[in-house]
Structure 1
């Protein structure tokens, strides 16, 4: 689409002129375009385009574009269940391990002896009146303890973003403390743990904000690890990110990991009869079915 708004009828005519086949009733096509949106759906017909004029490969069906869209939606829903579990667990372990390392310093996250100065300097920008008013347990804490600058870590960190939790981990001065956290998840390398942590955040943000998942590639290469092998040695693919997610989840609950893994594989395998979608799953996501 250009800079001029178009009607749904004009959108259908444009797609048809570019070679798309509408293999369902036009009223259903209109309903879909008005539900999902022409622009958003465009991310899912992109793999079917063959030139810079946005013409489609011969035989491109509207129904396959919609199937790809819902594959993406369903995969995000499955991964969200795993990512929520991982986020809560990582948050809990960081709070627990560091707080018990410094039991007499309940607000260790704002202590310059423990944390890098840059983080401590920036923290008041996040822990402002709006933050305290928005989060009831924090607000209640300051009513009960009006002289406290901050609530203890086990209260405060529950209301920070997942990205902020990573920043807290990264800003801890003592490498030994960070290594205790990494060891909890079976890591012998802090560098690999950080890399996996960042991968989790990257995929979590896509899923949480309804981003484009099937075609996502991590900006950072996922660290080589003895925990699993990369399909086609692709260390940026979504399949490799899924392996990272499943690794973390197994450290939390093996039964939950098995359930999520089965759901992912079942979703991919449900398209076995659709060569077009299966090719995208294999080439874009990087999935290789185990036989």
Structure 2
């Protein structure tokens, strides 16, 4: 499709002209196009296109495209529940351990003895009047303590983005304190924890913004350790990133880890009978069926 908007009728004609089989009926196709959108669905029929003219592989069904779409939706939902748990836990551990290590510095994130200078210099860009106004506990703190530049860490950090929490950990000066924090997760090397942290943030951002998940490859290769299962030696695959998420969840709750592994396996098995989607699960996501 070019730069001119098209109607649903025109979209349906384009799809059929390119060889897509409307096996679920034209009315249902119309409903899906109006519900999900032609452009977004394009990410899910792209694997079945065979040339630059967007023609489809012979025998491609519209229902297969929709099933792939809902595989992606359901997988995002499962991961987002786990990622929320992990995000809160990592945030809590950093707040707790660093705040208790520097008991006499409640705003240790702005202390040059604790943090690298660049982080401290940049922090006012985030902790501005808009940040104060948008977060009621922070606003109430400043109304009560009018001379404070910042609220204490245990208040402030609850309202920072997960990316900012990563930056705080990364910019801590005390490497021994970093090692103490990562011991909670059974990790010995700070660079490994940072690699896994960034992997978690990458997948979290895709899930939080309803992005394309099944085709995701992590910008960073996941560092190989005995902690993480890496299928087919693909350290960039979605499945490898999921193994990082599963590992961290297991350090927080064994039951939730077991549930997540079971739910993901069951989701994949639901789609196993469709040959095209099974190939995507194996070759794009990187999951190996037993």
Question: TM-score, normalising length from structure 1?
Answer: 0.99
Shift of 1:181: 1.0
1:124 aligns to 2:124 (yes or no): yes
Shift of 1:276: 1.3
Matched with 1:113 is 113
Matched with 2:272 is 272
Q: Give the distance between the partners of 2:67 and 2:40, measured in 1 at CA.
A: 14
Matched with 2:154 is 154
Matched with 2:33 is 33
Deviation per CA, 1:10-68, whole angstroms, max 9, x where unpaired?
11111111110000121111110011000000000000011111111000000000000
Matched with 2:8 is 8
Matched with 1:187 is 187
Shift of 1:138: 0.4
Q: Give the distance between the partners of 1:162 and 1:5, measured in 2 at CA.
A: 37
Shift of 1:113: 1.1
Shift of 1:229: 2.7
Matched with 1:84 is 84
Shift of 1:228: 2.9
Matched with 1:97 is 97
Q: Give the distance between the partners of 2:281 and 2:62, measured in 1 at CA.
A: 18
RMSD across aligned positions (CA): 0.7
Q: Give the distance between the partners of 1:102 and 1:252, measured in 2 at CA.
A: 25
Matched with 1:282 is 282
SS in 1 for 2:53: coil
**Stretches (4+) displaced over 4 A:** none
SS in 2 for 1:229: coil
Q: Give the distance between the partners of 2:226 and 2:256, measured in 1 at CA.
A: 22
Q: Give the distance between the partners of 2:92 and 2:229, measured in 1 at CA.
A: 29
Q: Give the distance between the partners of 2:206 and 2:193, measured in 1 at CA.
A: 20
Q: Give the distance between the partners of 1:36 and 1:271, measured in 2 at CA.
A: 20
SS in 1 for 2:187: coil
Q: Give the distance between the partners of 1:125 and 1:24, measured in 2 at CA.
A: 52
Q: Give the distance between the partners of 1:128 and 1:276, measured in 2 at CA.
A: 50
Unaligned regions of 5+ residues in structure 1, if any?
Answer: none
Matched with 1:212 is 212
Question: TM-score, normalising length from structure 2?
Answer: 0.99
Deviation per CA, 1:220-245, whole angstroms, max 9, x where unpaired?
10001111331100000000000000
